[in-house]
Structure 1
Amino acid sequence: MIRYSYILFALLFVALSSCTYTEKVRDGQTAIEVKQYAVALELLQKEYEKSKSRVEKGRIAFKIGEAYKNLNQSDLAIRWYKIAYDNQYGWESLREYAFALKQAERYDEAARAFKDLGIEIGSPYEYRREISACQIAQGWKDLRPEYEVEVMGFNSSRAEYAPVLYKGNQLVITSDRANSTGDDTYNWTGNAFSDLFLVDLESNTVSDFTGPLNTEDNEGTAIFNSDYTEVYFTRCFGGGKWDADHCKIMRSEVSGNSWSIPQPLSFMEEGINYGGPALSEDGQRLYFSADHPDGWGGHDLYYSERQTDGTWGPPQLMTRVINTEADEMFPFVDKDTLYFSSRGHTGMGGLDIFKTYQLQSRGWASPYNLKPPVNSGSDDFGYIIDYNAPRQDEDVLYSGYFTSRREEGIGNDDIYRFTKRKLPPEEVVQDEEPPKEIEYKLLLKGFVLEKLYEVPTDPNSVVLGRKPLPGSTVQIQFGPRKEEVTVGEDGMFELELEEEADYTFLAAKEGYLKNDAAFSTRGIGRDPNNPVQEFEIEIVLDRIFLDKEIRLENIYYDFDKANIREDAQPTLNELARNLELNPDIRIQLGSHTDCRGSSRYNQDLAQRRAQAAVDYLISQGIDPDRLVAFGYGESEPEADCICNRCTEEEHQINRRTTFKIIE
C-alpha cells in the first residue's frame, strides 16, 4: 500500500548511526541523502534554474518539495510538488502534493487531489479513506473547540517532545538540543542525539536530566511511577550488544541520591522496536508500543502486568478496536482512560491524539478523536494531563501538555499546553418516544485486492497501489464453523461478527497466490455511544508471474559470508508462510553477486548463499522437494554499468536474492 509517511524522529523508527557526514556536499541530491535540507534547497534552486528540459525540471522540483516538507514548510512544499507534477514528474509528485495539502489543512483541495491520484494510478479504491478523512476533518474545524492551546516558551529551534510530569512544577522532555550527550551528530536530523531534559515551568529554563540515563545513544519518552522512584524510557542502541540497531525500553530506580544503571526489560525480543512506555496509576500495568510482526500492523499498543517478583510479564497485544494496520503509539493512562496517537483511525493528517476507556464489559470503547485545536494536519502526540496545575477560573476542567509538529510552532516538534474548559450546554430536544433497547453489532468489511505495478508485467517495478480483485473466493472460519463467499466487482465481502471470537480468512483466485488474514473481536466492548462498530480488513493477492525472478527485499549478507543474518529472517519467514498457503508451487531461490572478484569465486559464493536461503526455509518446515537453489554469480547484473565505474548503490542493486515460481 502506498502510504505518505516521514519519520517523526529517530527514537522510534530508524536504526542509528554514530557517524557524521564530513565530505563537502556538492549537489542537491547528495544534500537530500544526508538530510541537509537547508543546504539542499540552495543547491537545488540553482540546478532548477539551469535545467533545460521539463523532465529535468520536474525531477528537481520534486526534490525541492521533499526538502521543504522535511523543513516543515508545507505551503512551499505544496507549490513545488505542483510544479513537479506540471513538469511530468508523475503520480509520485501528485501523491506528495495531496498529502501536503492535507497536512496544511486545505482539505477540500486535498480531497480533489486524492481523487485525481486514484484516477492517475488506475484505482479509486486506494485513496478512498483519505478522501473521507479530508471531508470529516473539514467538518471538525467548524465545531466548537473543546480546548485552548498555546506553544510553550521553552521550545527551541530543535525538537522537543513527549513531556512527562516530574517533581514539583517540572517536566521531563525529550530533545535533540545542541547540549545533548556526546559529540556526534545524528544523520537524520543533522542535530545532536536525543536526551532527557528537565524543564522548570516557573522559570521556563531547561537543563540536563542528571544521572546515568542519558548516553551517546538516543534516549527519550520517559515515564515515572507515582513517587518518582522508578523510571522507564526508550533507548535506541547504536549496535554492539544488540547486534542490530533497535529501540528498547529501559528501567532505572532511585539508588541513594542517584539513579541506577538502566537495564532493558526482560520480555523484549531482538529485532523489535519498543518505545513510549506508560504506567497505570497503581504502577502494576505497563503500556508501550512495538512493531512486532505478530501485531495488527505497524506499531501496535501492548501492555504487560507486573509480576509478584517485580518483573514484567509477557506482552499482551491490545484489542483491534484500538490497534489498526497503521501506527498506534505514545500511550498515556489517566485512571481508566487511555490516550494514544494513531495514523490508522480517521484523523486530520499525520498522527492524531485519541482517547478510549474501559467499559463495564472490560472491553475498550471506540477511540474518540480529540479534534482541533489539539489535533492538526501535522503530527500530534505525547498527550498528558496535569491535574495539579493552577486553574485560571472555575470553567477550567483541567490542563496538560502535548507535542505537535504544526508549522506555526517555534521549531520542529514543539510542546504545547492545553486547557480544557466547560462548554455551554447544547439545547436538548425532548424525544417523545420511549428509549429503544440498544442493539449492539460488530460489522466487518473485507476487501480482496491485487497490486498495481508501474510496469504491469514486471513484479519488481514500483507498486502504485492496489485495486479490487473481483471473483476471488474467501474461506471464513471461526470456531468450528466455516463458510465461503465470492466477492463482487468491488472486491468486498461483509460479515456480522460474534463477540469474543477469533476469525481467519483465506482468499484465493486462479492465477494468484493464496493469502490469509485474521481478525479478533476479543476485548471489543459494548459501547453505548457507538453500538454499531464497523471494521475493515484487506487481503492482497500476488499475481503468479511464472518463471520470472522476484527480488526479496532486506536480505543482505556479510562480506564473504553465506549465512542467513537475523535481519533477513522476517523476509524468509514471510516466504515460508506463502509456501505453506500454496502447497502446489515449487520455487527457485536465486542469488546474485556484484562484479567484483573473479567469476568463479562469485559463482561459488552465490551458490552457497542461495543454498543457505533454501536451508533456512527447510528449517521452517518447507519440503526440500519444493525448493531449488541456484547461484547466478555476476552473470545477470540488474544495474546497467561498467564494473569499475559502478557506484556502491549499483553494486548493492546487483547483490540480490530472488525467488521465482517454476511450477
Structure 2
Amino acid sequence: MKMKIHILTIFLSLSAVLSYSQKADYQKANKAYDNFSYAKTSDILLEVANNGYTSVSLLQKLSNSLYFNNEMKEAAKWYGKLFEEVGETALDSEYYFRYAQALKATESYEESDAWMQKFYEANKDDLRGKAFASKKDYLESILSLSRDLQVVNLDLNTEKSDFGTNQYKDELIFASSRLGDKIYQWNKQPYLDLYKATKQADGTYKNVVAFNEYINTKYHESTAAFTPDDEVMYFTRNNYYKKRYKKDDEGVNRLKIFKATKNINGDWSNVESVHFNSSDYSVAHPAINVRGTKMYFASDMPGTIGQSDLYEVDILEDGTLGDPENLGASINTEAQETFPFINEIGDLYFSSNGLSGLGGLDVYVVRDFENKRESNQPLIVENVGKPINSSKDDFGYYENLGTKEGFFTSNREGGKGDDDIYSFKAIECEQIVTGTVLDKNTQELLAEATVTLYSKAGDKIETVIADQAGAYSFSKLTCNEPFLIRAEKTDYIGDEKNFVTLMGTEDMVINLNLEINIQAITPCADLAKILDIPVVYFDFDKYNIRYDAEVDLQKVLVLMNQYPTLKIDIRSHTDCRGTNAYNETLSSNRAKSTKNYLISKGIEASRLTAKGYGESQLINHCDCDSNNRSTCTEEEHNKNRRSEFIVTSINGKSCLDK
C-alpha cells in the first residue's frame, strides 16, 4: 500500500508535459497491441509502468505482450503485480493459465502448479486443466522419460531466429530471420526466409545460402516438407500470393501452406495455394509421412479446439489433397498444438503448451500413431523429456532414423540468439529383456523351457532355452518397439505376453508362468481339484443333472475312459443351511444321481461308489449351530457346497494302502 501511495505521489508531482507524454505513450502502446506488434507494446508499456503510471488495463496488456512475445520471466513478474492489484477472482481464468505457464518457464514449478490447480477448479471441462489434474506427478514422469542425449547448438545459428528443420537430400532446410531490410514488428526482426546448409563429410552442416529465390518473398516463409520422391514441397508463407498481401476482416495477415513442384531444370516452381487455405484463419507447418499419403499441419480453422490444433489430410494418388480432419481431443487442447512431425515408423511428434510439461512449448510424441489411428486404438501422448525439452519453448522436432540424426529448436538459456537449432544423435538402443519361467501354481523355477521372441507382425525373431534356474534373456532389442514373448514346456500350458520396449537403458523383466497340463492321478487324489470342478450344480431342492453339471461330469467321464482301472467315490456336500436330515438326504440323492449319470454313459457300477455327507464335513467356520449362519457371507457358505471325486484305487493301488 505504501508503494502505491509513493508511486501516486511521484506521479502527481510530475509536470503536465511528462504526464501527457506518458498518456500518449500508453495510447501508442494500445495501438501497437491491437496491431499485434507485441515487442513494441511491451517496450512502451514497460517504460510507462516503471515510471509509475499503472492501471489494470495497462498491467493486462503489458503482461500479455510479454507473454505472447515469450519474455516469460518479465511476464511472470507483471502477471503477479496484476493479481496483486485486482485479486484472484476479478480476472478471466485464462490469466491463471498464462501466469502458470510464465512461472513454469522460470522453473517455479510449485507456484505454477498452484495456479494450474486454480485454473482447473475454474474450468473442470478444459482439456488443459484435465491434463494437469490427471497427472500431477508430471515432473517425475517427464524425468523418467528423459534420454541420455547430447544436444549441440549448431554453428549455423545467428543472433536472430533460426528454427524449423527438415532434410532434403544432403541439405538441412530451415527458416531464419538473419537477413532482410523489412522488419516484422512483432519481434523487431527481419521477416523469415527459408535457407539451406550442406552436409559435410564430418556430419556438420555448413555453407548456408537462401533456399530458393522463387520460394522466398519479402514476407515470412518457413517450415518446408518434402514428398518421398523429392519432387514436391509444401511450405508455410504469409497470405501473400501473386504479389498480393491479404488480411482478414480484423486486419490480420494469416499463414498459409503453399505447394511447389520441381520443373525439368530441377528448380522449384509452380507455387500454388492448397485448397483449404483461407484469409480468415491460418494453416501452417506441414509434415508428410514416409509413404507420402498423409500431410499433417497446424491450424486455427473452424472446428479447432484451441488456439491451434493439429490436422491431417490425405495426399491422393493424383497429388491433390483431400479434406482436412482434426486429430481430436486425444491430442489437441484449448492451447497451442503445433509443429507436427511424423517419423519413418509412424510416430507423431508435436509441440504443445496445453499439456503438462517443463515450461513453454514442450515436444510430445504418440508412438505408432498412424497404426493406432487407423485401428481406433487409444492414443497415448508422452512428453519426450529432457534434454529435448526445457523450461523454455522447444519445438520443430525432426529425426532421421536412417542416419540417426535429430534436430529441434529452442530458445533456452545459453543459445546464440532468439530461437536456435540444436542437433542430437540418436543413441543405439540395446534394450535387454530378461525373466524367469515359473510354474504358475507352485512358483517353482522351470528349467529348459523354450522361450521365443516374436515381432509385432508375428514373425519369429529368436528362440532361447531357459537355464537351470529358469532364466532367459534377449538383448539388442530396438527401443519403443512392440514384441510378443512366449514360453513353452512339455506337459505345461504355454504363457505369452505382449510388451513394448522402454526408451531408457534399464533392463525389462518379464516373468512367464506356465500351468501344468498333466497331473498325476494317485490314490486318495480328488479329481474335482485336478479337473477344476468346484461343485456339480443341481437346481434348488432337486437332484436331476443340469446341463452345466453335465459339462463338468464329462471331464470325469473322459478320465475314467482313459484309465480303465480308475475307481472313484462320489461325495456330495452341502452348507449348514437347512436341517441336518434334509441336507443329508438331498446330498445323498445328488451323489447317487451323479453316479447313475456316469453309469448311463458306460462306466461300470463296480468302479463307482457314492455318498452324501450333508453338512457334516464343513471346511470353514460357517456352522449354523454355533450361530455363524448370519455372519457368514454367501461366498463362504458356497465353499461348503462342493463335489468330490476321490480316487479309491488305480492300477491296483488303493487309497487304503496309504
Give TM-score scaled by structure 1 length: 0.52
For residues 329-386 of structure 1, give each alpha carbon's deviation from its aligned partner in whole angstroms, at most 9, with x where no partner exists.
3222222322222344443333332222134773454232212221233332211113
Report the number of matched residues.
Answer: 401
Q: 1:81 to 1:242 in 2, by over 3 A?
A: closer
- Whole-Å separation in 2 of the counterparts to 1:267 and 1:70: 27
Shift in Å, 1:82: 2.8
Partner of 2:350: 340
Partner of 2:384: 370
Q: 122-131 vs 366-375, which deviates more?
A: 122-131
State whether structure 2 residue 247 is matched by structure 1 residue 258: no
State whether structure 2 residue 228 is matched by structure 1 residue 226: yes
Contact 1:288 1:302 in 2 (8 A): yes
Partner of 1:383: 397
Q: 1:76 to 1:262 in 2, by over 3 A?
A: same
Q: Secondary structure at the match of 1:282?
A: coil
What is the identity, as a one-letter code, of the residue corresponding to 1:348? L
For residues 618-661 of structure 1, give each alpha carbon's deviation from its aligned partner in whole angstroms, at most 9, with x where no partner exists.
xxxxxxxxxxxxxxxxxxxxxxxxxxxxxxxxxxxxxxxxxxxx
The structure 2 residue matched to 1:328, chosen from 337, 357, 374, is 337
For residues 577-611 of structure 1, give each alpha carbon's deviation from its aligned partner in whole angstroms, at most 9, with x where no partner exists.
xxxxxxxxxxxxxxxxxxxxxxxxxxxxxxxxxxx
Q: Secondary structure at the match of 1:27?
A: helix
- Whole-Å separation in 1 of the counterparts to 2:104 and 2:437: 39
Partner of 1:212: 214
Partner of 2:154: 152
Shift in Å, 1:193: 2.0
The structure 1 residue matched to 2:107, chosen from 91, 105, 108, is 105
Name the Cα RMSD after superposition: 4.1
For residues 118-146 of structure 1, give each alpha carbon's deviation from its aligned partner in whole angstroms, at most 9, with x where no partner exists.
78x79899956546666413542366534
For residues 89-111 of structure 1, give each alpha carbon's deviation from its aligned partner in whole angstroms, at most 9, with x where no partner exists.
76557654432111223211211
- Whole-Å separation in 1 of the counterparts to 2:49 and 2:208: 42
The structure 2 residue matched to 1:275, chosen from 268, 273, 284, is 284
Q: Superposition pairs for residues 576-595 of structure 1, below 5 Å?
A: none
Q: Secondary structure at the match of 1:281?
A: coil
Contact 1:59 1:84 in 2 (8 A): no
Partner of 2:361: 351
State whether structure 2 residue 187 is matched by structure 1 residue 161: no
Larger radius of gyration: 2
- Whole-Å separation in 1 of the counterparts to 2:302 and 2:223: 23
- Whole-Å separation in 2 of the counterparts to 1:312 and 1:37: 35
What is the identity, as a one-letter code, of the residue corresponding to 1:362? S
Q: 1:267 to 1:162 in 2, by over 3 A?
A: same
Q: 1:132 to 1:86 in 2, by over 3 A?
A: farther
**Gaps (5+ residues) in structure 1?**
1-22, 390-397, 436-526, 531-663
Contact 1:133 1:348 in 2 (8 A): no
The structure 2 residue matched to 1:307, chosen from 270, 294, 316, is 316
For residues 533-555 of structure 1, give each alpha carbon's deviation from its aligned partner in whole angstroms, at most 9, with x where no partner exists.
xxxxxxxxxxxxxxxxxxxxxxx
Q: 1:400 to 1:273 in 2, by over 3 A?
A: same
Shift in Å, 1:400: 0.6
Contact 2:145 2:383 in 1 (8 A): no
Q: 1:184 to 1:426 in 2, by over 3 A?
A: same
Contact 1:62 1:89 in 2 (8 A): no
What is the identity, as a one-letter code, of the residue corresponding to 2:297? F
Partner of 2:84: 86
State whether structure 2 residue 163 is matched by structure 1 residue 176: no
Q: 1:222 to 1:30 in 2, by over 3 A?
A: same
**Gaps (5+ residues) in structure 2?**
1-20, 442-497, 502-658
Contact 1:221 1:234 in 2 (8 A): yes
- Whole-Å separation in 1 of the counterparts to 2:247 and 2:44: 37
- Whole-Å separation in 2 of the counterparts to 1:267 and 1:66: 31
For residues 146-202 of structure 1, give each alpha carbon's deviation from its aligned partner in whole angstroms, at most 9, with x where no partner exists.
43323223222222221011232x2111122333xxx53323222222211112454
- Whole-Å separation in 2 of the counterparts to 1:122 and 1:316: 26
Contact 1:72 1:412 in 2 (8 A): no
Contact 1:339 1:353 in 2 (8 A): yes
Q: 1:414 to 1:432 in 2, by over 3 A?
A: farther
- Whole-Å separation in 2 of the counterparts to 1:335 and 1:90: 47
What is the identity, as a one-letter code, of the residue corresponding to 1:340? F
Q: 1:156 to 1:307 in 2, by over 3 A?
A: same
Contact 1:171 1:200 in 2 (8 A): yes
- Whole-Å separation in 2 of the counterparts to 1:382 and 1:243: 26
Q: Secondary structure at the match of 2:112?
A: helix
Q: 1:42 to 1:67 in 2, by over 3 A?
A: same
For residues 414-449 of structure 1, give each alpha carbon's deviation from its aligned partner in whole angstroms, at most 9, with x where no partner exists.
2111233256868967696969xxxxxxxxxxxxxx
- Whole-Å separation in 1 of the counterparts to 2:319 and 2:334: 33
Contact 2:146 2:386 in 1 (8 A): no
Q: 1:203 to 1:98 in 2, by over 3 A?
A: closer
Partner of 2:504: none
- Whole-Å separation in 2 of the counterparts to 1:209 and 1:24: 45
- Whole-Å separation in 2 of the counterparts to 1:301 and 1:42: 33
What is the identity, as a one-letter code, of the residue corresponding to 2:175? T
- Whole-Å separation in 1 of the counterparts to 2:154 and 2:236: 24
